[in-house]
């Protein structure tokens, strides 16, 4: 992943990440209602009516909103009420994740291991350890009997004492190691994707939209990508900047790439964890960076005369493909260095390596006509890393001199240069991307 982002990659658990996200959301004005159940919801022509209630009982409250985002997990009641089916591999193991405290520093030594797969005569699973080496979790996919019989129903009936022994066994039969079990989470290994991520004014995100085994570590990242894609579209729609058609592009963009990611996670599970699963119909394993950062979106929210046929691009090739994530390139802005990945938010950005003043005027006129911010940022051609021509077998045509970047960092359009009537052209493109008519 080196060179693909202005920041280093960080492995972080959900327990570690959630407080950070919660604090940031609260600072931006979000209200959190913990321990609250969604009793019911009803969609109307121009709003959604939801009934909520404190978990365990209490007074019900009616909430009226423009839209509803259902992130209610793999067994989403909202998805079921919408009648949206799940398709894929279904469930193939009842697993358990054991969160524990134990000093594993003597076993780890100086090694910095993010994921440790366990292929033991008695169990199959993987470890994740804290950076301090005094805690972690063990995900157990299956236990093995002395005769080789495989038990994939680990989570059905397991005690705390058994969990201690599983941790010790997975660490290498360290019988005397003190192990304190913090919690035991039972879950099903599944691989399935919702047929659509939208039902009218209701959107599915995270596990409600796609479930996959943890092999590959794609689950959390895929859920974050859902939110990243949907957030700016909801903001623009609720602010009247975009027409309702922009929201339809959420499912069009996220559902196909999520289905591919689910299959990639299943492929890794079958190849790494469970040799008993059939392999005759597996999707060949693809590059991790392409899965996580190489999605190519096709919808009315990207403007391209020749959309690519493949779903993934190679982010290392920096092809500048319309519909793909903008490559990371350092930019000098007001004496500070930022990345092309940060150039757009909260509005659009037009990156260019020439005719700065021409595009500044065009962006100002187009932005004023549509009521949307379009920042113009200059790219130094000499700062473009590597060759600007795409590698063989990848999509796109390299850097061509200008590119319009969406608020989520996706390349929305590359104009033909030199541009004729750039303001009118930019306004027409933006209007199409936002599902509205330029005024």
Coil, strand or helix: which one is 144?
strand
Give the C-alpha distances (Å, rounded to integers) separating 31 from 22, 42, 358: 10, 21, 43
Residue 24 CB coordination number (10 Å): 10
Please check whether residue 279 is in contact with residue 356, taking contact to mean a CB–CB distance below 8 angstroms. Answer: no
Contact partners, residue 283, CB within 8 Å, separation at least 6:
260, 263, 264, 266, 267
Exposed / middle / buried, residue 7 (Cβ in 10 Å: 0-12, 13-18, 19+): exposed
List the one residue out of 393, 394, 395, 413 whose CA is nearest residue 403. 413
Strand bridging mode 198-199 / 202-204: antiparallel
- Cβ atoms within 10 A of the Cβ of 23, count? 10
Instruction: Check if the beta carbon of residue 281 is closer than 8 Å to that of residue 310.
Output: no
**Angle, vertex CA 264, rays to CA 263 and CA 267, nearest 5:** 85
Cα distances (angstroms) measured from residue 161 to each of 124, 139, 213, 253: 18, 16, 26, 46
Q: Is 215 exposed, middle or buried (0-12, 13-18, 19+ CB in 10 A)?
A: buried
For residue 135, give every residue at least 6 positions away whose Cβ sits within 8 Å of its Cβ, in sequence order, or none.
Answer: 99, 100, 101, 102, 129, 182
The length of the chain in residues reads: 439
Alpha-carbon Rg for the chain in angstroms: 24
Query: Catalytic residue at 117?
Result: yes
Beta bridge partners of 193: 87, 210
Distance CA 35, CA 54 (A): 6
Q: Which of 67, 117, 236, 269 is catalytic?
A: 117
Q: CA-to-CA distance for 212 and 263, rounded, in angstroms? A: 8
Distant-in-sequence, close-in-space partners of 41: CB < 8 Å, separation ≥ 6: 48, 49, 50, 51, 68, 78, 81, 202
Active site amino acids: 117
């Amino acid at each position: 992943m080196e060179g693909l982002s202005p920041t280093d990659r960080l492995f972080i658990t959900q327990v570690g990440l959630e407080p950070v996200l919660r604090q940031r959301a609260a600072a931006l004005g979000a209200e959190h209602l913990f321990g609250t159940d969604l009793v019911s919801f009803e969609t109307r022509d121009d709003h959604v009516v939801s009934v909520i209630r404190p978990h365990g009982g209490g007074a019900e409250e009616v909430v009226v909103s423009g839209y509803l985002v259902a992130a209610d997990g793999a067994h989403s009641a909202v998805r079921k009420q919408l009648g949206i089916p799940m398709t894929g591999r279904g469930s193939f193991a009842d697993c358990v994740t054991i969160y524990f405290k134990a000093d594993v520093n003597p076993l780890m030594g100086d090694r910095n291991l993010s994921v440790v797969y366990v292929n033991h005569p008695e169990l199959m699973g993987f470890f994740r350890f804290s950076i301090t080496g005094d805690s972690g979790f063990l995900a157990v996919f299956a236990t093995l009997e002395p005769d080789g019989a495989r038990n994939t129903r680990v989570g059905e009936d397991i005690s705390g004492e058994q969990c201690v022994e599983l941790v010790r066994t997975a660490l290498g039969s360290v019988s005397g190691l003190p192990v304190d079990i913090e919690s035991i989470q039972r879950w099903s290994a599944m691989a399935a994707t919702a047929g659509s991520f939208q039902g009218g004014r209701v959107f599915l995100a995270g596990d409600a939209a796609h479930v996959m085994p943890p092999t590959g570590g794609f689950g959390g990242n895929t859920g974050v990508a859902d939110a990243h894609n949907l957030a700016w579209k909801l903001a623009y729609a609720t602010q009247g900047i975009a027409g309702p058609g922009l929201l339809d592009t959420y499912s069009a963009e996220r559902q196909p790439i999520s289905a591919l990611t689910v299959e990639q996670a299943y492929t890794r599970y079958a190849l790494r964890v469970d040799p008993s699963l059939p392999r005759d119909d597996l999707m060949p394993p693809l590059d991790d960076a392409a899965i996580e950062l190489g999605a190519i979106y096709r919808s009315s929210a990207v403007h391209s005369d020749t959309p690519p046929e493949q779903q993934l691009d190679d982010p290392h090739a920096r092809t500048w493909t319309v519909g793909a994530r903008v490559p990371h390139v350092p930019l000098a802005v007001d004496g500070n260095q930022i990345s092309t990945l940060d150039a757009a938010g909260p509005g659009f950005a037009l990156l260019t390596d020439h005719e700065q003043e021409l595009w500044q005027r065009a962006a100002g006129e187009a932005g004023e006509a549509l009521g949307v911010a379009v920042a113009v940022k200059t790219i130094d051609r000499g700062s473009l890393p590597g060759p600007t021509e795409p590698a063989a077998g990848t999509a796109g045509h390299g850097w061509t001199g200008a590119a319009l970047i969406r608020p989520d960092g996706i390349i929305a359009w590359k104009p033909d240069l030199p541009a004729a009537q750039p303001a009118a052209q930019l306004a027409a493109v933006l209007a199409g991307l936002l599902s509205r008519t330029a005024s």
